Structure 1
Amino acid sequence: MRKIELRPLPDPKPGVGQLVIIGGNVTGEGMSVDIQRNQDEHFLQANGVWGSHPFKFQLPELQTDSDGNQTAVVDKQIVDPLLENPHATNMARFYGPDGAELGRARVKLARDLISSGALGSTPSLEASATLNTPEPPTAPPTPEPPTEPTTVEAGPEVTAAEPEPQLESKTGSRRWLWVALAILLLVIIVGVAAWFVLASRDDEPSENETAQELQQEAEASEPEESTENEAAADNTSVEATEPRPAENAPVLAVAPCSLQRMDEQKELEFIQACTAADGETAAMTLDVIDEALANEHCSIARRLYAHEALNGDIEAALGYARQFDPEQHSPSTCFPAPDAETAIFWYETAQGIDSDNTEARQRLEALQE
């Protein structure tokens, strides 16, 4: 399969969408899907959080749309978590009834999707009119002209009839006033609803602006450096400037990206300190990745590959693609098997950084045949 799109239904509903499988060979029922985000390689769980273990969502029987693509309707379990960070990169893997993987591709979000949180907060015009338009108060009954005393007959009939048109005029004015207020309220409600829908839409990056999309994705997924890490980096620099006895370990042993730190710190803490280290060049980062692979720090290597590639380092993007490319793959602890779909994604990332890159173009042509 070439691409997966999550689109709204023809009759859009908050928290509901349809997975559209483009260029795939999957049909029938009994299928399931898991979703993995590239940021930390965690999988979407049934409760909407991301965990380290895959979770398979059961899909209804696939339907064929007007373009010949297979579609499956999904609810807020999948729609809401993906809309929380629309610029993140997510991979969907499809499985058959027997649990065998049928294919995978990156999930692209349509701009018109609405999360379930919008349910009830953007009522339709008809509902708004029903709920919010105030009813005009019931006019008091017109008093019957008195029949007694008979002295009324002595007065001119015009005088007795004068109050009726005045009351009619006042009642008509009040009704027009309520109608005008109702129309004004409807206009306000329609304006607020339109603003809410427009504000809730995320601008989708175009197909031709891959580099800009990847840059936004890197900014959205890049972890913020904590104050404690800044203090640790400052302390390291201070220690590096102080004179040390000759028998002390060299400064490189305690550098933020050193193997010693890699062994001592938690993965996320190491990634934050290493990527924020002053003077850390792209070439040095690739050396750190090689050292992580050699010492089987697989998650650190994958995260550094993705971080550098999404921040515009074409060598990191090509290097990560080669790890999955069936023609260039070398089995290892961190990359035990090739994966053509993932290789295509990272070659496309490299091509987004440099559209004239020969290796990325040639490998994409070969893998997409």
Structure 2
Amino acid sequence: MKLRFSLQALEPAVPGRARLYVRDLDDELELGDYAIAIQRSQNSYYLHSAQSWDASLRWLPQQGWTEHEEGIAVLLNADIVDSLLANASDAYQITLADSGGEELGRSPLKLDKAILPSTAGGHAQAMELTMPVAAAPETPAPEPVVETPPVVETVAPPAPEPVKVEMPAPNVDTVAPVEPPAKKGGMAKWIVLLVLLLTLLGAAAYWFYSQSAKDDSPAAPEAPEPKPAVVETDNCTMDKLADRPGLQFVQECVKESKTSEQWLAVIEEVKKAGQCDVAQRLYVNKAQSGDVKIALAYAREYDPQDHPAHACFSKPNPATAAYWYETVLLSDPDNAHAKARFQELSQ
């Protein structure tokens, strides 16, 4: 049975709650009691309870299934929703089984970005619903306005300006100053010669002083040698991968700015190093962020037509390949290759 799973936020969004939609491409699914198994891509573990994962298969029975246009749906609680939102770099696959434990189909889960964890709720919503609305205060009646008669101001006439009486100034006869008689003698030329001599002596003394100051001044300090430029460290090298856990490597590596070709080269090196879970995390992170080339490459890892022989992707998975081809079409609806492969794998 060909199934497609998508987890959608409620309208309006409720923290910790989301609705799981199961789309039946074969139109064979009927309303009944079903259980789901959730497997993550990090280490292929299954969800057992809230934030608890284990290698053994665990079925999670769900109650309250309803019908919708293309299949069935059920409301998931906060234990499952918070577990799915705990790590943004993980991808998940859901398997559906009936009440008898028979597996009906499996497919990757498509998560709605509008889903909120339960921690986003807090107490604000509860207080908003329970607090009574205070009644609006009554508007007091307007007080009567007492009209007062207009005040008439009396303007006093301006005081007369005093009359200035100008007195005639007395006539004073000006007396020209009498210059003293010039003294006779030849002292002036000796004074001029003495001033010139002192000026020459001062200039000579200043010249000798400036020359000695230049000789005694310290040499100018040499300019410091330029320091070499600091080279930024690439967090996606294999040396970094060998020195730290895989999850820490992915969290630091995805912060780098690289082209699609550079990311594919990093993923290829990680695969050669045998770090399959790290390669899957890098694929998922970049494919979900809208990189079409990465999503196409990841789809080919599972496509039976293009499946390469590699230890990290030992078996083809048509449902997973169809999911990532569909992811490509969300960003590039006119991609002919993704459209053709998605249609063929969905039949």
> Where on the TM-score scale, by shorter chain, does this alignment land: which range?
0.5 to 0.7
The whole-number CA distance in structure 1 between the counterparts of 2:313 and 2:241 is 19
CA contact (8 A) 2:51 2:83 kept: yes
**Superposition deviation, residue 115 in structure 1:** 4.9
Deviation of residue 55 (structure 1)?
Answer: 6.3
Question: Alpha carbons of 1:282 and 1:93: their partners in 2 closer, same or farther (altered >3 Å)?
Answer: same
1:321 aligns with 2:324: no
Which residue of structure 2 lines up, in the alignment, with residue 271 of structure 1? 250
In structure 2, relative to structure 1, the CA distance for the partners of 1:110 and 1:313 (3 Å cut) is closer
> How many Å separate the matches in 1 of 2:236 and 2:297?
19
Query: 1:286 Cα deviation (Å)?
Result: 1.2
Choose between structure 1 and 2: higher helix proportion.
1
CA distance in 1, matches of 2:117, 2:240: 44
C-alpha change, 1:236 and 1:365, in structure 2 (3 Å) is: farther
Shift of 1:53: 4.2
Structure 1 residue 105 displacement after superposition: 4.0
Q: Measure, in 2, the Cα distance between the counterparts of 1:332 and 1:68.
A: 36
Give the corresponding residue for 1:237. Answer: 231
Residue type matched to 1:314 in 2? Answer: V
1:331–1:29 CA distance, 2 compared to 1 (3 A): farther
Does structure 2 conserve the Cα–Cα contact (< 8 Å) formed by 1:318 and 1:346?
yes
TM-score (norm 2): 0.55
**Matches of 2:19 and 2:287, distance apart in 1:** 30
Query: RMSD in angstroms over aligned alpha carbons?
Result: 4.6
Percent identity between the two aligned chains: 23
Q: Which amino acid aligns with 1:237?
A: V
Q: In the alignment, is residue 92 of structure 1 matched against residue 70 of structure 2?
A: no
Letter in structure 1 aligned against 2:109: R
Structure 1-normalised TM-score?
0.52
CA separation in 1, counterparts of 2:269 and 2:276? 10
- Whole-Å separation in 2 of the counterparts to 1:45 and 1:55: 8
1:62 Cα deviation (Å)?
Answer: 6.8
1:259 aligned onto 2:238:
yes
SS of alignment partner, residue 337 of structure 1: coil
Q: Output the CA distance in 2 between the equivalents of 1:41 and 1:282.
A: 25
SS of residue matched to 1:59 = strand
> Which residue is equivalent to 1:291?
269
The aligned amino acid for 2:107 is R
Task: Tell me which residue corresponds to 2:187.
Answer: none
* CA pair 118-356 structure 1, distance change in 2 beyond 3 A: closer
Partner Cα separation in structure 2 for residue 115 and residue 302 of structure 1: 27
Summarize the alignment of residues 14-53 of structure 1 with structure 2, pairs less than 5 Å apart.
Answer: 18-23=19-24, 25-27=28-30, 31-36=34-39, 40=42, 45=47, 47-49=49-51, 51=53, 53=55
Kindly tell me: are residues 14 and 339 of structure 1, through their superposed partners in 2, closer, same or farther at Cα, counting changes over 3 Å?
Answer: same
* 8 Å CA contact retained: 1:91, 1:106: yes
Q: CA deviation at 1:298?
A: 0.3
1:69 alignment counterpart: 71
Structure 1 match to 2:106:
103
Q: How does 1:93-172 map to 2 (within 5 A)?
A: 93-96=95-98, 97-98=100-101, 100=103, 102-109=105-112, 115=118, 122=125, 128=130
For the pair shown, which has the larger CA radius of gyration, 1 or 2? 2
Which consecutive residues of structure 1, in runs of 5 or more, have no partner in the other structure? 134-180, 186-233, 241-254
Task: Give the one of 56, 75, 78 matched to 2:80.
Answer: 78
| Residue-by-residue CA offset, 1:165-223 (whole Å, 9 max, x unaligned) | xxxxxxxxxxxxxxxx86449xxxxxxxxxxxxxxxxxxxxxxxxxxxxxxxxxxxxxx
Distance 1:17 1:257 in 2: 35
Q: Residue 36 of structure 2 contacts residue 96 of structure 2 at CA under 8 Å; is this kept in 1?
A: yes
| Cα distance between partner residues in 1 of 2:89 and 2:248 | 23
Distance 1:118 1:295, change over 3 A: closer
Aligned residue number for residue 320 of structure 2: 342
Aligned-residue offset at 1:319: 0.7
Amino acid at match of 1:78: I
| Matched AA of 1:266 | P
Number of residue equivalences: 252
**Structure 2 CA distance for partners of 1:267 and 1:277, relative to 1, 3 Å:** same
Distance in 1 (alpha carbons) for counterparts of 2:93 and 2:4: 12
